Structure 1
Amino acid sequence: MASDDSEQNPYTRPGFVAAAIVVALVVVLAAVLSYRAVAEPDDPDPTTAPTSSDPTATAAPTESPSAQGGESVCGLEPVELDGTLTAAPDTEWELVGTTAAPSVEDHGPGEVEEDGFRYCFAQTPTGALLAAANVAAMGSDPGLSPKVAEHLFAEGVGRDVALSETPTGNAGGGVRVQIAGFRLLDYSGESATVDIAMRGSNGAIAGQVFDLVWEDGDWKVQLAPDGQLPTDVVVLPDLAGYLLWAGA
């Protein structure tokens, strides 16, 4: 249970902690909630991380995009309507804000703007993984938060709430995080569930699950009606069960 001081201090509540770290929309939760957990590794009651999907499954590529969501917004050609990942992809990493963001040839990001905003990910298991990881990485750059909310959150009430929020607080926390591993929990051509593990500069590890939907030719993060991610961040004792994947 949180202390009385924590309960009374608004800057210890989820939204304010998040905003203080990214100085941006409180619901850029991809990095926001992960940062909160890494900064608070002594949470007395962390929830249990979800169970991974069957690691023996293999990806099944097809040549035709799904009927819903359209073809890739930037023309990426690979399309896989089911499958999983049993190993980390061959990845290049580039610093965005303070976090290394991944890219994989032919799977995304297909577009990287001058300010570092990254979008367009293939309709593949690898593309879904990259979408979640890039949203997390972009959360460390406050200037990208409005673009992330506008272009990489799925249509719905949650996105509307995200867009209505205003930046709150100042940058702080002192903890920087880097992607450390992943689990692809579920995948179809229309949706995906990706668990990203992040390691803080203080050594703490946190996991955040991202629900994605294929929408308007790209992977978008699905938010709950309150504008936050549907699942809570969890503090992890180690990276057991995750595929190791890191650029820094």
Structure 2
Amino acid sequence: MFTSVDEGEDRPAPFWRQRGRLIAAAFLAVAFVMSLVAVATREDTPGQLTTTVASGPLTRSATDTPHRPEGCDTDDHDRAASDAPPVDVRWGTVGGTRVPLSASSGPTRTTGPVLWCFARTRMGAVMAAHVIPAQMTSANWRAVTRDQVVAGFGRDLYVSQRGSLSQGGLESSRNGTYAGFLLSQFTTTRATVGVLIKSPEGPYFTTSVSLRWSGGDWKVMPGNDGSLHTEMSAASSTDGFVLWKV
């Protein structure tokens, strides 16, 4: 059982320490916002991902398959419209961010830097929406992107933008925390998960993550602008969200 996948190697600063054009200073304390990679892009050629990273557990080309990757086995039968958190949820640290983990909903497998194998259920999608973006501050973000972001123009743009981040222009900040979630859409092939984040100063912010079932697991579906989730917005209340008991 893992509680942390951080490795003692050089990596970009955590999400909340990255400065970008589209993110306000107030959001810099939130651990989730780095994946917006709203920074000045460089003249990189999209598609370098597949030429610089070796094959991983989720790199099959099929977008939907009845078979899970080898070694991945989850109970996908409970698809009732229940948004209660998994009873076996625990918390670990991924990329400097505390994230929910579950033996029943996932991730149940770790291959190198990639935490994968989520249940094809409502809670499996919720867990993927928290865990996958949190891995993007690792030095191994390319491997995570290759295996857990749906291939296409959006992913290529994300790779180009994310690759332009450097250690310059960083500022210290305390960590934000995952506070709750709202599953606004779910089928066995796609899901949209709203994520509630509490900043260190107290206010709440929200964003949403789109997911697709691809290659035998949940993957993040990036936007055409290369973002892995929608723009952050202030939340006037927590109404409608299922709150994590942390």
User: For the aligned residues, what is the CA RMSD?
Assistant: 3.2
Task: Please report the TM-score for the alignment, with normalisation by the length of structure 1.
Answer: 0.68
* Structure 1 outlier segments of 4+, above 6 Å: none
Between the aligned partners of 1:77 and 1:155, the Cα distance in structure 2 is 24
CA contact (8 A) 1:31 1:136 kept: no
CA contact (8 A) 2:181 2:243 kept: yes
Task: Please report the TM-score for the alignment, with normalisation by the length of structure 2.
Answer: 0.68
In the alignment, which residue of structure 2 is the partner of 1:130?
127
Displacement of 1:114 in angstroms is: 5.8
Deviations 1:4-30 (A, max 9, x none): xxxxxxx5513798xx989xxxxxx96
Displacement of 1:178 in angstroms is: 1.3
Between the aligned partners of 2:148 and 2:245, the Cα distance in structure 1 is 22
Displacement of 1:157 in angstroms is: 0.9
Between the aligned partners of 1:197 and 1:34, the Cα distance in structure 2 is 16
In the alignment, which residue of structure 1 is the partner of 2:21?
13
CA contact (8 A) 1:150 1:163 kept: no
3-state DSSP class of the match of 1:158? helix
Return closer, same or farther for 1:203/1:102 CA change in 2, 3 Å cut-off: same
- Number of aligned residue pairs: give it: 197
Unpaired runs of 5+ residues, structure 2, are 1-18, 39-62
3-state DSSP class of the match of 2:139? helix
In the alignment, which residue of structure 1 is the partner of 2:152?
156
Deviations 1:48-92 (A, max 9, x none): xxxxxxxxxxxxxxxxxxx92443334223224954333222211
3-state DSSP class of the match of 1:14? coil
Between the aligned partners of 2:193 and 2:216, the Cα distance in structure 1 is 18
Deviations 1:72-113 (A, max 9, x none): 334223224954333222211111233212111222102135
| Mapping 1:29-178, distance limit 5 Å | 31-32=33-34, 68-73=64-69, 74-80=71-77, 83-90=80-87, 91-113=89-111, 115=113, 117-139=114-136, 141-165=137-161, 166-170=163-167, 171-178=170-177
- Which amino acid is the alignment partner of residue 119 of structure 2? A
Between the aligned partners of 1:186 and 1:33, the Cα distance in structure 2 is 21
3-state DSSP class of the match of 1:185? strand
In the alignment, which residue of structure 2 is the partner of 1:58?
none
Between the aligned partners of 2:135 and 2:213, the Cα distance in structure 1 is 19
CA contact (8 A) 2:83 2:122 kept: no
Between the aligned partners of 1:98 and 1:82, the Cα distance in structure 2 is 31
